[in-house]
């Protein structure tokens, strides 16, 4: 049987279940974060269209799932993201400037220009580097959770994935091990209905993604991913279970990717616009705004003021980031080995000289 969809805030912004405990000031911060993510997406996609960054993947429509998960995790927990979770790093304190530098891949980039744009991570806020290869981060999350368990650290690892990733072999390996060893891991699936052009119905014959947890012997929750409160409640419960030795949970956040898969995609070629309009009515931002306005947590002018502040923040970040030079050529070689092997030292010498337009005697060492 399909797990019921857990919902606290309906699409009209009415409470239809018990709301998780959230201080009023946090409610305002959470809403502001959703606004920040959305504005950032628009601004970064526009930079991409102008050729100022190479690639971008928006999370528009999925902000509640991302923000709610970030809020429910504890500061010391580790995050293993996929493409759409830059908002988790931002919630934890990564700056917009650092993010823009990563998109450009310049000398201000924490990742030294080594990752594709949007393939973001920041050790300072415990988000771990990931690869484009779908699902691999889940095995990493499971492995880190295993280490935490062995070391008796009270750390929960959150492995994020899309609906497409739930079909990967790595999902199976991670979930299976996590179940057998009762590891402190939470698998969070942002089921946005599409894996590029492949719709959910072509992705799996399972009744839901949450249902897959049963096969691995741990609970699966299926929540309305456009409902911030439902996401917070489910991820909180999962983090509590993991932290108290109860093992893993799979949380499926049912949501929708409002834009293309990435800046390289044109979803109008495979997706009915009526479906997009349907999901517009479920918009996570609007429903939270309606609710918060109704309970007096959001005042007249708050959103406008925040949008202005966020736009100013992004404008300044882009200006500062675009003024930075590329990473130094040496950074292709450094920060890989503790002691750089001799042939790499030689290659570095050649590369630096070539960058300066100098000739170096001798053959390029391979």
Ligand X SMILES: Cc1ncc(C[n+]2csc(CCOP(=O)(O)OP(=O)(O)O)c2C)c(N)n1
Instruction: Quote the CA–CA distance of 187 and 161 in Å, as a whole number.
Output: 8
Interface residues for ligand X in 157-176 (CB under 6 A)?
A: 161-165
Q: Does 122 bind Mg ion (CB under 5 A)?
A: no
Contact residue for ligand X among 32, 140, 261, 289 (CB under 6 A): 261
For 159, the token pair is 């492995």
Considering CB distances under 5 to 8 angstroms, the limit depending on partner class, which of ligand X, Mg ion, none binds residue 102? Answer: none
For residue 43, give the nearest of 285, 321, 277 by alpha carbon.
321
Q: Which stretch binds Mg ion (CB under 5 A): 59-67, 98-106, 161-169, 173-181?
A: 161-169
Residue 261 annotated in active site: yes
* Beta-bridge mates of residue 161: 189
Residue 92 annotated in active site: no
Taking the least distance from each CB to ligand X, the nearer of 31 and 194 is 194
Instruction: Quote the CA–CA distance of 167 and 314 in Å, as a whole number.
Output: 36
Q: How far is the CB of 277 from Mg ion (least distance, A)?
A: 19
Taking the least distance from each CB to ligand X, the nearer of 165 and 238 is 165
Q: Which conformational region is residue 72 in: left (phi greater than 0), alpha (psi within -120 to 50 degrees), or beta?
A: alpha
Sheet-wide strand order for 220-224: 78-80, 157-162, 185-191, 249-254, 220-224
Residue 33 annotated in active site: no
* Beta-bridge mates of residue 351: none
Q: Rg of the chain's alpha carbons, rounded to an integer?
A: 22
Alpha helices (runs of H) in 152-268, residue ranges in sequence order: 169-180, 200-203, 213-216, 228-243
> Minimal CB distance to Mg ion: which residue?
162
Q: How far is the CB of 102 from Mg ion (least distance, A)?
A: 22
For residue 79, give the nearest of 29, 112, 123, 40 by alpha carbon.
123
Q: How far is the CB of 128 from Mg ion (least distance, A)?
A: 20
Considering CB distances under 5 to 8 angstroms, the limit depending on partner class, which of ligand X, Mg ion, none binds residue 261? Answer: ligand X
* Beta-bridge mates of residue 122: 127
In this structure, what DSSP letter does residue 155 have?
A: -
Q: Does 163 bind Mg ion (CB under 5 A)?
A: yes
Q: Does 98 bind ligand X (CB under 6 A)?
A: no
Q: How far is the CB of 257 from Mg ion (least distance, A)?
A: 6
Q: Which stretch binds Mg ion (CB under 5 A): 92-100, 163-171, 272-280, 336-344?
A: 163-171
Instruction: Quote the CA–CA distance of 132 and 119 in Å, as a whole number.
Output: 8
Q: For the range 294-299, what are the long-range contacts, defined as Cβ-Cβ under 8 Å and sequence gap of 24 or more? A: 294/13, 297/24, 297/27, 297/28, 297/31, 298/28, 298/31
Taking the least distance from each CB to ligand X, the nearer of 202 and 295 is 202
Contact residue for Mg ion among 6, 192, 226, 262 (CB under 5 A): 192
Q: Which stretch binds Mg ion (CB under 5 A): 106-114, 146-154, 191-199, 319-327?
A: 191-199
Q: Does 62 bind Mg ion (CB under 5 A)?
A: no
Query: By the criterion CB under 6 A, which residues form the site for ligand X?
Result: 83-84, 132-134, 161-165, 190, 192, 194-196, 257, 261
Q: So which residues are the catalytic ones?
A: 257, 261, 270
């Amino acid at each position: 049987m399909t797990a019921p969809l857990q919902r606290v805030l309906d699409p009209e912004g009415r409470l239809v279940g018990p709301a998780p405990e959230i201080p009023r000031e946090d409610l305002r911060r959470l809403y502001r974060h959703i606004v920040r993510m959305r504005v950032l997406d628009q601004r970064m996609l526009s930079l991409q269209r102008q050729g100022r960054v190479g690639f971008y993947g928006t999370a528009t429509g999925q902000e509640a799932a991302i923000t709610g998960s970030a809020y429910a995790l504890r500061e010391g927990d580790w995050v293993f993201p996929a493409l759409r979770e830059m908002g988790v790093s931002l919630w934890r304190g990564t700056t917009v400037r650092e993010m823009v530098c990563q998109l450009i891949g310049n000398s201000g980039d924490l990742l030294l220009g080594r990752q594709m744009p949007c393939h973001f991570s920041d050790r300072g806020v415990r988000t771990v580097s990931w690869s484009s290869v779908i699902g691999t981060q889940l095995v990493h999350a499971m492995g880190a959770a295993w280490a935490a368990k062995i070391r008796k650290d009270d750390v929960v690892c959150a492995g994020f994935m899309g609906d497409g990733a739930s079909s990967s072999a790595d999902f199976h390996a991670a979930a299976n091990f996590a179940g057998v060893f009762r590891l402190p891991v939470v698998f969070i699936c942002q089921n946005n209905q599409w894996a590029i052009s492949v719709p959910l119905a072509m992705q799996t014959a399972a009744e839901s993604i949450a249902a897959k947890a049963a096969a691995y012997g741990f609970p699966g929750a299926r929540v309305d991913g456009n409902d911030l409160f439902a996401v917070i409640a489910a991820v909180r419960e999962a983090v509590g279970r993991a932290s108290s030795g109860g093992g893993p949970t799979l949380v499926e956040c049912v949501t929708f990717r409002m834009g293309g898969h990435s800046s390289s995609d044109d979803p109008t070629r495979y997706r009915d616009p009526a479906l997009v309009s349907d999901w517009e009515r479920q918009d996570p931002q609007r429903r939270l705004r309606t609710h918060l306005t109704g309970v007096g947590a959001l005042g007249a002018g708050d959103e406008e003021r925040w949008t202005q502040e966020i736009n100013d923040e992004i404008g300044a970040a882009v200006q500062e980031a675009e003024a930075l030079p590329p990473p130094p050529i040496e950074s292709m070689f450094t920060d890989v080995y503790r002691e750089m092997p001799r042939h790499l030292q030689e290659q570095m010498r050649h590369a630096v000289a070539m960058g300066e337009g100098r000739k170096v005697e001798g053959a390029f060492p391979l």
